[in-house]
Amino acid sequence: MKWSCSSLLIAFLSAAGVAGAQPRPAPAPGPQPAAATAAPTPPPPAIEAKAWLLMDYASGQILAGQNIDTRVAPASITKVMTSYVVSAELAQGKIKLDDAVTISENAWRGGGAGTDGSTSFLQLGSKVPLKDLLYGMIIQSGNDAAMALAEHVAGSEATFAQLMNQYAQRLGMSGTHYMDASGLPNPEHYTTARDVALLSRALIHDYPEEYKIYALKEFEWNGIKQHNRNTLLWRDDTVDGIKTGHTSEAGFCLATSARRGDQRLIAVVMGAASEKARADANQALLNYGFRFFETHKLYAANTPLVAPELWKGATPTLPLGVVEDVLATFPRGRYGDLKASLQLPSRLIAPIEQGKAVGTLKVELDGKVLLERPLVALAAGGEGGFFKRMGDGLLLWWKGDAGSAVSAEAPRSP
């Protein structure tokens, strides 16, 4: 088929009035949860501590907090990272639960019965199954168990601390630095309330079987039975972790997690005045979160949210969506007040690789951004044939500059 200049011009003029790559309205979040009467959300409870926060596990949103990025001493909450690294090594097959671990003089002297810290009362030179050390570290908070695990995994506690810092970096714990496996005081050993929550969330998600150990109330080793120091395990049967910590420098610290129905929350309190104060603060935060917030999946992964026109493409449109489910946490009864919008370039021009980010999904409540997620190409936007590219090129030339990004508000749910 031959195209003359006049026929191209006719085609060009006939299409010149067609809109460019304007985004279509995003679908409404859905399905909508049962209607509820929206009431003002009260402020969070007053917490007396150096730092604290409340996080929704599913969405990762921080619902309340104070001094969440302030450096604090983690004390024995350090052992959450120690157990995370051990769990990762187990998953990779580098160590096994039935490994016989020799209790070195360093572990015995630095964390054993002769110290003032928490201990599993491990005997010098004895061989202990790795599984028992893991239980002793998590439930009894044994410093000797933590040191022995570190030496078994990495050869020395100093090398193990390097592993801890590598995992912290992977998890986005930008305010954390470890010097040892147990949490003994050191000016270069610190974390933040935000990072403790990030680590707790990763532990629950990545290693759910190992996380079950945190819910156990007691553990006996060598004829000595010790109770889990997380007193909320006895007070609230929805609590299934996580870890306590205490030194004179750190104060009384506690990270907890609880699940009620299909919602899980994580609370972190660092530097409270007493064991009772840290437990009361965590309980108050959990009760507040479960009472006044809900989490809902707004959009599903790999489902087209919009299909704007694809210029010079082999297909007329290009489906765009999110690569992971979009979950949002918001005050109960406020689902209908969410505002979702899409921000896209005014024109999409082929070729565009599958998975390439080309826009943004934004969800707001009361003018504040709850979350932002990249909109990506769910399929490859390949180039069209010669005449398609030439015709669209003429149209684009006629229309001039593509302009800035455009935004479209998503329609409200019925």
Q: Which residues are identified as catalytic?
A: 76, 79, 141
| Cα(203)–Cα(186) distance, integer angstroms | 24
Count of helices and strands (H, E) across the chain = 11, 18
Q: Is 204 within 8 Å of 83 (Cβ atoms)?
A: no
The three-point CA angle 42-282-241 to 5° equals: 135
In eight-state DSSP terms, residue 411 is: P
Q: Considering only CA atoms, give the Rg of the chain.
A: 28
DSSP 334-376: -GGG-EEEEEE-S-EES-B-TT-EEEEEEEEETTEEEEEEEEE
User: What are the angstrom distances between the C-alpha of 411 and each of 30, 166, 300?
Assistant: 11, 44, 17
CB 256 within 8 A of CB 228: no
DSSP, res 35: P
Closest CA relative to residue 62, chosen from 240, 236, 285, 297: 285
Alpha helices for 174-320 (secondary structure H): 193-206, 208-211, 232-235, 275-292
φ, ψ dihedrals at 144, nearest 5°: -65, -40
Beta-strand pair 348-349/310-311: parallel
Q: What is the rounded CA–CA span in Å between residue 137 and residue 118?
A: 9
